[in-house]
Structure 1
Amino acid sequence: MHIQSSFRMKKLSLTEALTDNVLESGSQDWLLHARYVRGEHAQCLDLADDLQKKNDNKHIYAFYIKGSVLADAGRIQEALEKFHSCLRLQPRDPEPLKQVAKCLYKQGRYQLSYEAYLEADKLSQHPDADIYCALAECLWNLGDVDHGVEWARSAVQAGGGERASSLLAKMLLATNNVNGALAAYDEALSAHACGADTMAAAGALRLRAGDPRRAFQLLGAALAQQPSHHAAALALAAMMLQHKDVDASLARLKTALTAHPECVAAHTNLGLALIAKKKFVAALTCLQRAVWAAPLNGRAAHDLGLALLVCKRPTSAFCRLAAAAALQPSQPYTVLLIAIALERLDDSRSDAAYARAVRLSPQDPLIRMNMAGRHARTGRLSQALEEAEIVAELLRGDDTPDPHLSSSLASLLAALHYAGAQLSESTSSLPDADSALSANSPASDDVNMGPDEV
């Protein structure tokens, strides 16, 4: 035992001696890299300073690592100086030039960053997907999306993986190429193990493209990978709210608000879900919080005005809707809600508001239906009948007409018929109109035609 112990001690001493000789005579770049990767930045800087002293300030990798440490600490200008020192010692190396371009990008100097990445691409001896992705991101910030798409495609072809594919999809979506963006996301999902951000973005786009089944799968997968993912929870809640699953929508919205308490969209959707649950005080609180968080958000003001109308507070609703219309003057539904609020206030300006809503969206059957109802309520039966015929034509041309709107049209036609209006053959031949006219409808004085079509 004593002999074996002394042999082990001699062997250990020999190993330590060899290691010390290597550290003294050989390169210590590996140790510098290891300390940087482990996050030992203080020791890394001390070692870099020692190597610079031993090499008369000509140690290229020490400059590179010091620049990386400074860039991670947010000291971008100092990091630029270190990377420029690398370039002065070795001008043909693309790696320090890539770091210079990255620092310029962090400073918001996108044009200079773009030029630096182009120079790095010239120096690179093989296609570099990181350079191509960075060039696409620079052009995105410079507003040149078309050329950015070309660089993003090059990044995908160079094997850029999930980053390149998702960047290409985002840029294609910015150019209104929804099919191309969907194809890019599908390629990324099939070829790579994508993260929650990519799956959430792909799911939201699938939902926008009218594929709720696939959108539900992608959003669910994103939440399974990251349960607190804000965007996925918000999109899934909106989908559930659209399908009248209010309780599940409320659960998802609470998850989204836990991850992002100041999210305007989450507060807004939560307020609309609470209105569906008839919890009006809580709904108004959520919608008011959304308006406070984003006072210049026209959609938040619009939704709060809608909730106030539902709560039969037309004066407050008009104030909020007027603010929303000032922020989004071309939004026809906001103008329509203003018209309804003015009508409930017995304001003569409601006719002008209804007319403006029709001018903003003349092919919208919902707006035309409300216009017809306004004419009927004021006794303008001929004009109401004209608008009803327009609504009927729009519904015939729609592949999937709204059943609620068809039912409202049938009720309006029945009321006009009993009020003495002469229906045309094309209008009275609607199935819903026939059923409404053949039913035992009440007298015209008892017909409830309040401005509640919205």
Structure 2
Amino acid sequence: MNHPTHTTLRSRRNWYIHSCYTSGDYKSCLAAIEEELVACAGLCEYPIYCKGLIMRHQGKVKESLQYFQAATSLSPHNVLNLKQVARSLYLLGKHRAAVDVYEETTKLGFEDWEIWHNKGLCFTYLKDYEEAIDCFERANDVQRHDASYLQLGKIYCLQEDFKAALKTYQEAVDFSPQNAEILTTLGLVYLRLGENQKAFDHLGNSLAHDPLNPKTILAAGSIIQDNQDMDVALMKYRIAAVKTPNSAQLWNNIGMCFFGKNPPKYVAAVACLKRALYLDPFEWLISYNIGLVHLNKQQYASAFHFFSASINLNPNFAATYMYLAITLARLDDFENSCAAYQKSIEINESDSTTRLNYAITLFNNDEIEQSREQFDVFEDLFAQSGEGEDDPDQEVTAQSAELREALKVEEA
């Protein structure tokens, strides 16, 4: 009678361990692993490898790294072990160490999409964008994949190379035309470039494949909102709110929809914007928008508070200083109002609206010569920009005409 050899028993145990792991029966799998480790004095590679996978699945990443390193010491040239060591290092935030391990795998002459892609992720976190781009391109050379295209486009956007980002996402759409995430991302790049129609077309295609994608709905709603169709935008946002009720950006947009209605719904706008601020207290744009609402409600002390908060979070946005200046003028703080106007002009010299408001404030405080100087600059900038030709802003047109007439009267 032939008795089974130890190798045959080990093979059967490995098969059983693999079966338990793939079926998700981790309790039985761990028990079998412990038996095998005792039987072979801890010198069996596959059970150690499997235990590392289970530890990582349970969130014990540091322990998983130890097991994968143990498996690697038993079989230093096994690429699977090295890949898992690098993955655990990446999850632990040790990106440079992970890169070193991934480079060990390439020295073994192993070409694998996952290795190049994950190496690119490490370089992205290290902010070494050129190396990251090279890795994602190499990953796509081995095997084209949606994830690599998305990461590659993301890096180009971080570098503000939107032409390269568009080319990358367009290649991705050609490769995977029904991927809603790629279509949405391409639409967002067009939106950032101000090409709203192309953005809306791609976002519409994305919604056709995934009609409940909150990111896509939010982007499409913002375009509709920019076109002043507040009711339709609110319908879109209502759908997104079911999926992402804690999105600060969503509540910010809803609040500005209520503010943009005719007549404005101030109470609803403030309520939504304050919910957005609660969800993301460090987003400068939300504080800026609440300031606008309070300014329009003539609640100048509250407007001052929120504009100041917005400036503390983002001191480089000219319009915030302009509205802060208007608020200070309404609070009879003429000196600081002028200082805020000057800061706004320092950041953006070519904004005609700031010059007009500054001229009005100067005129209201009997600084006629300075008002005339600012008004002359406004008229030059306004003429150069061509803002009043196709779709003139009625409020700007009315205020400039009124100030022009008042300045002529003063001159006379």
Which residue in 1 is equivalent to 2:191? 207
Matched, 1:266 2:250: yes
CA 1:329/1:210 → structure 2, altered by over 3 Å: closer, same or farther? Answer: closer
Matched, 1:66 2:59: no
Which residue in 2 is equivalent to 1:10? none
1:336 deviates by 0.9
Which residue in 1 is equivalent to 2:3? none
1:283 deviates by 0.9
Structure 1, 411-420 or 83-92: larger mean CA deviation: 411-420
SS at match of 1:419: helix
Matched, 1:243 2:230: no
1:119 deviates by 1.2
- Partner of residue 317 from structure 2, selected from 331, 349, 355: 331
- Partner of residue 137 from structure 1, selected from 121, 125, 142: 121
Contact 2:173 2:179 in 1 (8 A): no
Which residue in 1 is equivalent to 2:344? 357
Matched, 1:108 2:93: yes
Amino acid at match of 2:116: Y
1:55-204 matched pairs, under 5 angstroms = 55=40, 57-123=42-108, 125-192=109-176, 195-204=179-188
1:414 deviates by 3.4
- Partner of residue 271 from structure 2, selected from 259, 277, 285: 285
Contact 1:98 1:131 in 2 (8 A): yes
Q: Distance in 2 between matches of 1:285 and 1:63?
A: 55
Q: Deviations over 1:343-388 (max 9, x none)?
A: 2222223222222222221111222222233334445455444333
SS at match of 2:228: coil
Amino acid at match of 1:264: A
Structure 1, 249-258 or 142-151: larger mean CA deviation: 249-258
Contact 1:385 1:416 in 2 (8 A): no
Amino acid at match of 2:106: D
Which residue in 1 is equivalent to 2:284? 298
- Partner of residue 386 from structure 1, selected from 373, 386, 394: 373
Which residue in 2 is equivalent to 1:321? 307
Q: Distance in 2 between matches of 1:402 and 1:312?
A: 31
Q: Deviations over 1:383-420 (max 9, x none)?
A: 44433333333344336667565655543453345336
Q: Deviations over 1:109-132 (max 9, x none)?
A: 112112111112222x34222111
Contact 1:130 1:160 in 2 (8 A): no
Contact 1:385 1:421 in 2 (8 A): no
CA 1:180/1:316 → structure 2, altered by over 3 Å: closer, same or farther? Answer: same
Which residue in 2 is equivalent to 1:48? 33
CA 1:173/1:82 → structure 2, altered by over 3 Å: closer, same or farther? Answer: same
Which residue in 1 is equivalent to 2:328? 342
Amino acid at match of 2:384: G
User: Structure 2, unaligned stretches of length 5 or more?
Assistant: 1-7
TM-score, normalised relative to structure 1: 0.80
Amino acid at match of 2:87: K
Structure 1, 97-106 or 51-60: larger mean CA deviation: 51-60
Which residue in 1 is equivalent to 2:214? 230
Amino acid at match of 1:120: T
Which residue in 2 is equivalent to 1:12? none
Contact 2:356 2:400 in 1 (8 A): no
Q: Deviations over 1:267-317 (max 9, x none)?
A: 111111111232211111111222233333322111111111111211111
Q: Distance in 2 between matches of 1:200 and 1:35?
A: 39
Which residue in 2 is equivalent to 1:437? none
TM-score, normalised relative to structure 2: 0.88
1:71 deviates by 0.9
CA 1:191/1:238 → structure 2, altered by over 3 Å: closer, same or farther? Answer: same
Which residue in 2 is equivalent to 1:374? 361
Which residue in 1 is equivalent to 2:402? 415
User: Structure 1, unaligned stretches of length 5 or more?
Assistant: 1-22, 423-443, 445-454
CA 1:144/1:78 → structure 2, altered by over 3 Å: closer, same or farther? Answer: same
SS at match of 2:182: helix
1:87 deviates by 1.1
Q: Distance in 1 between matches of 2:99 and 2:378?
A: 53
Amino acid at match of 1:338: L
CA 1:402/1:155 → structure 2, altered by over 3 Å: closer, same or farther? Answer: farther
SS at match of 1:329: coil
Q: Distance in 1 between matches of 2:83 and 2:362?
A: 67
Q: Distance in 2 between matches of 1:239 and 1:394?
A: 27
Q: Identity of aligned pairs, percent?
A: 26
Q: Distance in 1 between matches of 2:365 and 2:10?
A: 98
CA 1:334/1:238 → structure 2, altered by over 3 Å: closer, same or farther? Answer: same
- Partner of residue 220 from structure 1, selected from 184, 192, 204: 204
Q: Distance in 1 between matches of 2:301 and 2:390?
A: 31
CA 1:222/1:42 → structure 2, altered by over 3 Å: closer, same or farther? Answer: farther
CA 1:260/1:417 → structure 2, altered by over 3 Å: closer, same or farther? Answer: closer
For the pair shown, which has the larger CA radius of gyration, 1 or 2?
A: 1
Q: Distance in 2 between matches of 1:194 and 1:115?
A: 36
CA RMSD, 1 decimal = 2.7
Amino acid at match of 1:122: K
Q: Deviations over 1:120-167 (max 9, x none)?
A: 2222x3422211111111111112222212212212222241111111
Contact 1:361 1:367 in 2 (8 A): no
